[in-house]
Amino acid sequence: MRFAALAGAAIFAIASPASAAPEGNCLDGTCRIKLTPPQLLAAAERLVTEKHYAEALPLVEALRLAPGFKLQTAFLGGLIASRTGNYASAAHQFMGILADDPKQTRVRLELAQALMALKKTASADRQLRIVQQDSELPQQIARTIRTVRDTIRSGRTWRLDINLGIAPDTNINNATSAQSITVLLAGDAYQADLNDEAKAHSGVGETAQLSTGLRLPISHELSALAEIDANGSNYSGSQFDDYNVQAAAGAEYRLTPTSSVSLEGVYAHRWFGGRATTAQIGARAGGQMVLGKRDRFGYQVDVRHVRAYFDHGYDGWQGGIYGTIEHAITKTIVVSAGPFVRREGLREDAFSSVEIGGNVGVGGELPYGFNVGGSLGLSKAIFDAPLLIFDLEPRRDTRLVVRTTVGNRKLRVLGFSPQLNWTFNHISSSIALYAIKRSRFELTLARYF
């Protein structure tokens, strides 16, 4: 689908004295015409507007040699490629422009059109969602975008994201940061030193993440959903290897063009140290709605039954309520905030808890190809009963999670771009055994588009 509302002249028109008629010089039946770069640009734009793409291409290639016209030539080259059916080349050139200047709304629209032609509908929808955050978007174009996004949602939409990397980690076994703990025996308190196995171990591992999903329309309002998410960390030996897999399937119902609700069954499994540790089965329900051009709200309710293979005292139920509100502060930068409440009702009261907290974050695209993001989560967990061997009072935790991400879209290898992630976890607990500090870096190749 093409955006008919945009089928006008290119946006890079230049008006200056240099755009006057070119100088002609004829000798012996041969005429030579000298064009300044602005004149060459104007001629190329006119030919593209008139759909004379073969004639325009040599002018665009010549203009690439002139300094100061990189953006204009890349855009015109992308337009010519798109209009002549070379959508892969068009997408590559448009992505290059957005890597340098992510605020170019017209370029992002052309990129979305090229991605749709390449059947990359999920990526196209992402670009159109960013375009909708432009507060200066004309109403006619906004209506066209809503129609296009509805068309995307009414078709079969799938996604696949893969990240591969290495991860230096200060605490690969997620162990306590304490050197000794207090133990209560027969009413007396004793200090016990922890052995090396109980302390934090550092290491460097290989990491991989895979996320895939499918939305299959059943009717105009109803779609079937299927998702698989998997991640793993592999360290020397198998003692601290950590692998997680989660699958979900259900349905989404679209209430209005800007709001929807969903219900899915969920199954998750975790292996640590080469052994199965937990299995979860349950359901999650959620919804989302668009609030104007720059705001979105979402919520989710998640309830699961947990089976713990390592200790049946951790068998039981867990559930949570999560909310998120997003606000676009610029065309490409979004801030978010989300409160949550979690409940774990397990077989042992000393392991059961209520956790209340929230997250704030910011992220988006910057010039020069950079993607950045950061978030901070803070929560308080209160347990139902004391763990009498350590304390006469129920355990209380304060939990802090900090995440940052920096990537670059301009550097691409087989469609992947480098990304550096840092995660810091700190749990301050009334029982020293559960106090944890962990810092983890991940250098990955990540797929952006």
The residue-averaged pLDDT of 39-54 equals 87
CA angle 195, 197, 199 (to 5 degrees): 75
- What pLDDT score does 400 carry? 98
Residue 148 has pLDDT above 50, yes or no: yes
Share of residues in the chain with pLDDT > 90 (%): 51
pLDDT (tens digit, 9 = 90+) per residue, 297-315? Answer: 999 999 999 999 999 999 9
Higher pLDDT, 409 or 303: 303
The residue-averaged pLDDT of 221-228 equals 95
The residue-averaged pLDDT of 167-185 equals 89
Q: Please tell me the pTM assigned to this model.
A: 0.78
Confidence of residue 373 (pLDDT cuts 50, 70, 90): very high
In this structure, which topology does domain 158-246+254-261+290-297+317-447 adopt according to CATH? Porin (2.40.160)
User: 208 and 443 in contact (C-beta within 8 Å)?
Assistant: no
The residue-averaged pLDDT of 45-50 equals 88
Average pLDDT score, the chain: 87
User: 254 and 245 in contact (C-beta within 8 Å)?
Assistant: no
Share of residues in the chain with pLDDT > 70 (%): 92
Higher pLDDT, 230 or 185: 230
User: 315 and 277 in contact (C-beta within 8 Å)?
Assistant: no
> How many residues can be counted in the chain?
449
Residue 63 has pLDDT above 90, yes or no: no
Residue 217 has pLDDT above 70, yes or no: yes
Nearest to 173 by CA among 238, 240, 234: 240
- What pLDDT score does 29 carry? 60
Neighbours of 341 (CB within 10 A): 15
Confidence of residue 26 (pLDDT cuts 50, 70, 90): low
- What pLDDT score does 142 carry? 78
User: 76 and 60 in contact (C-beta within 8 Å)?
Assistant: yes
Residue 428 has pLDDT above 90, yes or no: yes
Q: Token match 């507060």: residue?
A: 135
Give the Å distances, CA to CA, from 170 to 177, 203, 437.
Answer: 11, 7, 8
In SS3 terms, the chain reads as CCCHHHCCCCCCCCCCHHHCCCEEEEECCEEEEECCHHHHHHHHHHHHHCCCHHHHHHHHHHHCCCCCCHHHHHHHHHHHHHHCCCHHHHHHHHHHHHHHCCCCHHHHHHHHHHHHHCCCHHHHHHHHHHHCCCCCCCHHHHHHHHHHHHHHHHCCEEEEEEEEEEEEECCCCCCECCCEEEEEECCEEEEEECCHHHECCCEEEEEEEEEEEEEEECCCCEEEEEEEEEEEEECCCCCCCEEEEEEEEEEEEEEECCEEEEEEEEEEEEEECCEEEEEEEEEEEEEEEEECCCEEEEEEEEEEEEEECCCHHHCEEEEEEEEEEEEECCCCEEEEEEEEEEEEEECCHHHCEEEEEEEEEEEEECHHHEEEEEEEEEEEEEEEEECCCCCCCEEEEEEEEEEEEEEECCCCECCEEEEEEEEEEEEEECCHHHCEEEEEEEEEEEECC
Confidence of residue 6 (pLDDT cuts 50, 70, 90): very low
Nearest to 342 by CA among 387, 303, 299: 303
The residue-averaged pLDDT of 188-203 equals 85
Higher pLDDT, 4 or 327: 327
Delimit the domains of the chain by residue range: 4-155, 158-246+254-261+290-297+317-447
4-155 belongs to which CATH class?
Answer: mainly alpha
